[in-house]
Amino acid sequence: MWFACFPLTIKRSMRLNQEMLVIVFFAGRAVAADSVEVTPTGRLHVDYAHHDSDVAQFDDKALVRRAEFGLRGEFGSHWSAKIVYDFARGGSFKDIYLRYRGWDRTKLTLGQFKVPFGLEQLTSDNDITFMERALPTEAFKLSRRKAIGLQSSDANYTWEAMGFGSSVEGEGGNGAAARFTFNPIKDGDILVHVGLAALTQRPKDAVNIGARQEALPTDIRLVRTGQIGTVTRMNQLGVEAAWKEGPFSIQSEWMQTRLSRRSSEPDVSFHGWYVAGNWVLSGESRGYQDGVFKSVVPVGKAGAWELAVRYSRISLNGGQIRGGKEDNVTFGLNWYFNEHLRLMADYVMVNSDRRGVSDNPNILDVRAQIAF
């Protein structure tokens, strides 16, 4: 059984909850009866950032953003599983799940996987147009949690719901999330996408919300709330829309996070939004499947070239919490050599203000990306 072969001797893996490994291992043994197909997966993202600093001093540096290796298994026609470990930045488990696909259009998933909140967040790291996700996605994401979830899709809609707990690293509290998408137009290379997502959770610890300036080689956050205690409930709402026609596409999201606090403390809310557009100069079109966008797949031997621009904004000011405001404009240039290799370059112009201090750096970020 392939789960037993994964290198669990890594020190960081000791923090993985034992009950999850037991469930996935024995469930995998139970369903692997007739045909078993195991496929390795991996990705390596290497970044370098050059900063034109303003107030905060950023270091120019290179970073292994992701170094993931995993295995994906198919057991007969109804069962599948996946396990992925990221060796970069100290190491962490990503997806660890078992999935049943025996029902018409509906799947049941048990394990750790992405919380269904946000078009950009649910788009794979290999497929996002820019090197980093927009400010509100970065600030409000929950990423992956241990959960049980249902997913369903048809030609023009998708829906997903999950009940979740903490991650395998012990982060986060218990909650639930749901997302629905619909395509009012889906005709050849013309697509219109609308979506709505909602999430609620009871935080386990104090809440600390912040956003990097859409470049990771430095961990500085120009806008951040600091630790917010006495939070009894965190509710989030997301609205998304996108349009694609041939080599052109536009997508936008608006997100809000509201923190309910004990009666002695006032509730606070934060919000953000972005709009992004891209043009594939060589004529290819972005892929789209089950409510999320896929990468550009080049057709010609010279690969595919893509230009992109994004405006993003976030406000972490609410009540007595003065986390600051930030507006970013990002220009992107991507070269897809083939479906496995991509080179990326982003230029981010930052405009931030926190507690009366403005900080407006510019960042040039480049990446070499390999995936299989």
For 129, half-sphere exposure in the C-beta direction (CA atoms, 13 angstrom radius) is 29
Average pLDDT over residues 4-11: 39
Average pLDDT over residues 135-155: 96
- CB environment 99-116: b (16+ within 10 A), e (fewer): bebeeeeebebbbbbbbb
Instruction: Indicate if the pLDDT at residue 17 is higher than 60.
Output: no
- Residue 68: predicted pLDDT: 98
Average pLDDT over residues 19-38: 58
- Residue 198: predicted pLDDT: 98
Average pLDDT over residues 114-119: 98
- All structural domains of the chain with their residue ranges: 2-371
- Residue 35: predicted pLDDT: 84
Q: What is the DSSP track for 54-111?
A: SSS-PPPEEEEEEEEEEEEEEETTTEEEEEEEE-GGG-EEEEEEEEE--SSSEEEEEE
CA distances from residue 283 to 127, 241, 247, 251, 289 in whole angstroms, order as listed: 17, 23, 5, 18, 19
Cα angle 163, 169, 173 (rounded to 5 degrees) comes to 40
Instruction: Tell me the C-alpha distance between 86 and 212, whole Å.
Output: 20
Instruction: Indicate if the pLDDT at residue 32 is higher than 50.
Output: no
CB 2 within 8 A of CB 73: yes
- Residue 4: predicted pLDDT: 36
* Encoded tokens for 322: 């003065």
- Residue 216: predicted pLDDT: 86
- Residue 217: predicted pLDDT: 81
* Encoded tokens for 20: 């999850």
- DSSP assigned state of 188: T
Q: What is the DSSP track for 287-299?
A: EEETTEEE-----
- Residue 30: predicted pLDDT: 47
Average pLDDT over residues 16-42: 63
pTM score, two decimals?
Answer: 0.90
Instruction: Indicate if the pLDDT at residue 19 is higher than 90.
Output: no
CA distances from residue 181 to 120, 240, 246 in whole angstroms, order as listed: 13, 9, 21
Which range is least confidently modeled, 87-91, 146-150, 161-165?
87-91
CB 172 within 8 A of CB 166: yes
Answer with the residue of higher pLDDT: 4 or 151. 151
Residues 6 or more apart from 45 whose CB is under 8 A from it? 64, 65, 66, 67, 125, 367, 368, 369
Instruction: Indicate if the pLDDT at residue 20 is higher than 60.
Output: no
For residue range 267-307, list pLDDT tens digits in order.
Answer: 999 999 999 999 999 999 999 999 999 999 999 999 999 99
Q: Which residue type does 280 have?
A: V
H/E element, 179: strand 174-187
Q: How confident is the model at residue 29 (pLDDT cuts 50, 70, 90)?
A: low
- DSSP assigned state of 139: H
Instruction: Tell me the C-alpha distance between 63 and 367, whole Å.
Output: 9
Task: Give first-to-last CA distance, the chain, whole Å.
Answer: 22
For residue range 177-223, list pLDDT tens digits in order.
Answer: 999 999 999 998 899 999 999 999 999 889 999 999 999 887 899 99
Average pLDDT over residues 28-39: 67
Residues 6 or more apart from 64 whose CB is under 8 A from it? 44, 45, 46, 47, 88, 89
For 140, half-sphere exposure in the C-beta direction (CA atoms, 13 angstrom radius) is 36
Q: Which residue type does 299 have?
A: V
CB 58 within 8 A of CB 71: no
Strand 341-354 and strand 321-336: pairing?
A: antiparallel
Q: How confident is the model at residue 18 (pLDDT cuts 50, 70, 90)?
A: low
CA 107 to chain centre: 21
Q: Please give the CATH number for the structural domain made up of 2-371.
A: 2.40.160.10
* Encoded tokens for 21: 């490994």
**Which class for 324: exposed (0-12), middle (13-18), buried (19 or more C-beta within 10 A)?**
buried
